[in-house]
Amino acid sequence: MTHDVRILHAADLHGNLTHYRELLSLAVAKQADCVVMGGDLLPGGISISSLAEVQRRFLNDHLRPLLEHFKDTNPEKTVYLMMGNDDLAINMDQLERMAGEGLLRLLHLRMYTLSDSLFIAGYGCVPPTAFMIKDWERLDAHRSMVQDRSYQAYSSGSEGINVVNTHEWFLSHNTIEEELSMLARLSNPAHTVYVSHAPPYATKLDVLFNGRHIGSRSVRMFIEQHKPPLTLHGHIHESHHMTDEIKDCLGPTVCINPGQSRQVLHAVTIDMAGNEVHRIVSYPRKETVFSR
């Protein structure tokens, strides 16, 4: 079965306005049917005390106008996005408002129709990291994996930013395995493109600069069990440098992590009907074609 859909995917834009502008321009130039932004949308690298306001201002002062213009000039194209582990959940209300206005569709634990027989769904959480924001972090598969030694970190919600004990935080939330099981029940895996911020473990898509694999075991198990046609990832910016690959296969499933950098936009287009993946590096501009 073929699906006449062209997807443009990038992740880890981290508030880089140049990347956002180029991505939306590429959607027009490449005649993509939809744009997928797979997590880590907002600026970071600043103190936790000011991060929420900085990210909120980015959403209202920059992302909203960009999406409003894109929607006005390209009403037939759809933007799908979700937060990632560097994005504070306290600002989700701004994305919900934009979604209510038709500027975007939120992916995390939701499913939408791409074509008559193809769907898209998303999951934004990642396994525990050394970073301080825990809103979108979960234990991968088993609560026994939580470390006895906890450290101080932060979560955000309607009451603001709170200090959390990581041991208690992870034990009080569902695991990635549990939440992906919920997503499978909400969707039709054999006919769904899944966007997961975390790449599958021990693939060409999850390799750190030190050579360590740091993807999600539960994401891998989900893919191997349900065999979706395509999964889209991000989170590990440098993996493509380590493996010279943006694509890997788990059984019949094509898995893609385009990587990202501050200097140039990394993105891919996927032609579901033509079984091709086009890797785009924005400058110096080059494009590589892979067969799905």
**pLDDT tens digits, the chain, 292 residues: what are they?**
456 899 999 999 999 999 999 999 999 999 999 999 999 999 998 888 899 999 999 999 999 999 999 999 999 999 999 999 999 999 999 999 999 999 999 999 999 999 888 999 999 999 999 899 999 999 998 766 666 556 789 999 877 899 998 888 999 999 999 999 999 999 999 999 999 999 999 999 999 999 999 999 999 999 999 999 999 999 999 999 899 999 999 999 999 999 999 999 999 999 988 667 777 776 444 555 544 5
CB-CB contact of 261 with 6 (8 Å): no
How high is the pLDDT of residue 283? 46
pTM (2 d.p.): 0.94
Closest CA to 41 of 213, 263, 234, 238: 234
Alpha-carbon span 178 to 197, nearest angstrom: 16
Q: Would you state the pLDDT for residue 282?
A: 62
Q: Give the whole-angstrom CA distance, residue 152 versus residue 281.
A: 38
Q: CA dist 138 to 151, 217, 225, 264, Å? A: 15, 12, 20, 30
Residues in the chain: 292
pLDDT of residue 62: 98
For domain 6-129+174-291, which CATH number applies: 3.90.1150.10, 3.40.47.10, 3.60.21.10, 3.40.50.620?
3.60.21.10
pLDDT at site 183: 96
256/246 Cα distance (integer angstroms): 6
Determine the Cα–Cα distance for residues 232 and 218; give it in Å rounded to an integer.
15
39 neighbors 197 (Cβ within 8 angstroms) = yes
Report strand pairing: 160-165 vs 152-157.
antiparallel
Instruction: Give pLDDT, residue 144.
Output: 61
Rounded CA separation 233/205 (Å): 8
Residue 77 three-state SS? coil
Collapsed DSSP state (helix, strand, coil) of residue 24: helix
Could you write out the DSSP letters of every residue in 157-197?
A: ETTEEEEEEHHHHHHTS--HHHHHHHHHHHS-GGGEEEEES
Cis upstream peptide for 199 (omega within 30°): no
Question: Exposed e or buried b for every residue in 207-241, given b needs 16+ CB within 10 A?
Answer: beeeeebbbbbbbbbbbeebebbbbbbbbbbebbe
pLDDT at 277: 75
Question: Would you state the pLDDT for residue 159?
Answer: 79
Specify whether the CB–CB gap between 4 and 247 falls below 8 A. no
Supply the pLDDT for residue 21. 97
Per DSSP, the three-state class of 54 is helix
Query: In 10 A of CB 260, how many CB atoms?
Result: 24
Residue with tokens 């740091």: 214
Contact indicator for 257, 36 with CB cutoff of 8 Å: no
pLDDT the model gives residue 146? 61
**Strand locations in the chain (E):** 6-10, 34-38, 78-82, 105-106, 111-115, 118-123, 152-157, 160-165, 192-196, 230-232, 247-250, 253-256, 266-271, 276-281, 286-291
Q: CA 70 to CA 207: how far, in whole Å?
A: 34
Residues 6+ away with beta carbon under 8 Å from 167: 146, 147, 148, 149, 150
Domain residue ranges of the chain, discontinuous segments joined by +: 6-129+174-291
